Structure 1
């Protein structure tokens, strides 16, 4: 892991939540608005997600056959400075441990949900002392589970994004607006104003005209 602010002796002292990793993987500015300005806005998609998660975020467990299912399980990895909550964790009799992240929308391979569930797997490995090679993302829109491979590339992506989140927190500065197709699906569009802020030259020129001292002659009638 690279040295980042909030890190001592290779152990991060600044904890990053797994949900922050997901937001940052989708859009660094979105994560910055949530983490630095306590900003958040709902739309139909986020409300659907909240309602769906209410069903899996009630702590509990059950055993059916060879599988024990845990719900709303808090997880953490002190060595990596990660923490979060797993929607569902299946513990199989053969020793397999499978975290299952629930999403209301369609699944995107390699998307932010993969980052979040990989982080969950890394935390579970530290807690249970077992290697986890696969996780799942359940998509309500697709009505099926999608397998996520927990390999070296996926693990490094989690570590890299966690470092980037720490840099955002340490610098207390919002990442730049991206102003691309992601913005159309973002509930925080109005708060972010991506199209306005992406026009740097226009914004800078307007700010200069507004705040720069005017010559005295300009005030004369």
Structure 2
């Protein structure tokens, strides 16, 4: 991990910066508006995919640790990074006999290389590196749909994506401004489409003009009387 990518979370008017959860990084990386709806309006809607995810995490989020050969496996480990103002919980952290620390994020859906899950998993690695004071150059995403683990290199570029998403989420919290809808293919598979109303809001200007035209008085010169 490149130390030059490290940045300290800025203080806001003499107060501590807002804490950003690792899960919100994934939401923001997927859709800024989805993240805003969850954080600002406490809105969340379940569908089949989110229910599968909840059931999966019920199995892996029970706190505790166990041994497996030369590997210590810790579940539901709270993590944080004071410098970046990050906080969250790792589904699984493997601590190997050679000192290797590997966070494993569990997902119910299919894995998409370079996708939002990479940002969340890399955020966990950044927190663990700070806490253990040793390099954590890799993270993993386990996909139950793929039934396999996908290893991720926490490159300087991915590190920068984590910090950029952290800054964006903090700005969202500080300004309480709900981002505009994406209105693209993501909306069709989003459980929050009903609350978001992307198609309606994307046409807001068109609807506004139509309403103005309906209620704009006629030009007096056009009055036949």
Q: Which residue of 1 aligns with 2:170?
A: 166
Report the CA distance between 1:167 and its aligned residue: 1.2
Residues 93-149 of structure 1: CA distance to partner in whole angstroms, max 9, x if unpaired?
011000000000000001111000000000001110010111100000000000111
Q: CA–CA distance in 2 between the matches of 1:5 and 1:52? A: 36
Q: CA–CA distance in 2 between the matches of 1:97 and 1:149? A: 13
Q: Which residue of 2 aligns with 1:120?
A: 124
Kept in 2, the 8 Å contact 1:197–1:203? The answer is no
Equivalent residue of 2:80, what SS? Answer: strand
Report the CA distance between 1:171 and its aligned residue: 1.3
The equivalent position to 1:95 in structure 2, one of 87, 92, 99, is 99
Unpaired stretches in structure 2, ≥5 consecutive residues: 1-5, 221-225
Residues 157-198 of structure 1: CA distance to partner in whole angstroms, max 9, x if unpaired?
000011111111111111001110001110000000111111
TM-score between both structures, scaled by the size of structure 1: 0.90
Larger Cα-atom Rg: 2
TM-score between both structures, scaled by the size of structure 2: 0.88
Q: Which structure 2 residues correspond to residues 119-158 of structure 1 after superposition, within 5 A? A: 119-158=123-162
Report the CA distance between 1:64 and its aligned residue: 1.3
Q: CA–CA distance in 2 between the matches of 1:4 and 1:60? A: 31
Q: How many residues are treated as equivalent by the alignment?
A: 214
Report the CA distance between 1:205 and its aligned residue: 2.4
Q: Which residue of 2 aligns with 1:22?
A: 26
The equivalent position to 1:37 in structure 2, one of 37, 41, 46, is 41
- Please, what is the CA RMSD of the aligned residues? 2.4
